[in-house]
Amino acid sequence: MDNKRLEKQFDFFREIDKEKFIGRQTYLTDGERKENDAEHAWHMAIMAYLLREYANERVNIERVMIMCLIHDIVEIDAGDTYAYDAEGRISSKEVSKWSKGNQRFEKQYCLNFSYDGGEVNVEYAAWNSKDNAYTDVKTKAVYQINGMGVNYQSYEWNKKESSWNLMVEHSTQPEEIILFEES
């Protein structure tokens, strides 16, 4: 038996246990208190499993459930970000990366989301550890979602021209989405 692997697995179990202490904005159905990240992830995974029969395509439920269970793990270090800003339709999410050196997640960049109908804009601001702040936004992505699929556009900021330059554009059809099983 590989004891090092087992030790690392238990270290991970102890780390993800911290999700129980990350408060969310959503109240439980009894309205008495707000849920935590672990409850949220568990509930999503159970709902995905039970509702899979209503999907238009055959769903890889193992993959979907794992995604439901781990999607907010980064909030252990970054905290919960309230996803709905009714006035500006804007939210932010810090993205961290695991550092082997200090055995913690370290800030990498911030994602600033804005919503406009069927369009989502995501701007990326890199973390500058020397200044202990985020840099100016240098790249952004635009997702246009409709019944025909998703259109993705990636832009880079051109400082000289003070404008966004389109770098990549890609369209995805519903049958290409990876959550569906192969026939």
Q: What is the mean pLDDT of residues 140-158?
A: 77
If DSSP codes are grouped into helix, strand and coil, which group holds residue 162?
A: coil
Q: What is the mean pLDDT of residues 106-111?
A: 78
pLDDT band at 79 (very low <50, low <70, confident <90, very high): low
- Flag whether pLDDT at 82 surpasses 70: no
pLDDT attached to residue 47: 94
pLDDT attached to residue 143: 77
Question: Which residues contact residue 76 at a Cβ distance below 8 angstroms, ignoring those fewer than 6 apart?
Answer: 15, 16, 18, 19, 22, 105
Q: What is the mean pLDDT of residues 89-102?
A: 73
CA distance 95 to 145: 23
Pick the residue with more confidence: 155 or 173? 155
pLDDT band at 111 (very low <50, low <70, confident <90, very high): confident
Question: Which residues contact residue 88 at a Cβ distance below 8 angstroms, ignoring those fewer than 6 apart?
Answer: 114
What's the CA angle centered on 154, arms 168 and 157, to 5 degrees?
Answer: 115
Q: What is the mean pLDDT of residues 67-75?
A: 82
Query: Over the chain, what is the mean pLDDT?
Result: 79
Q: Select the highest-mean-pLDDT range: 31-35, 88-92, 128-132.
A: 31-35
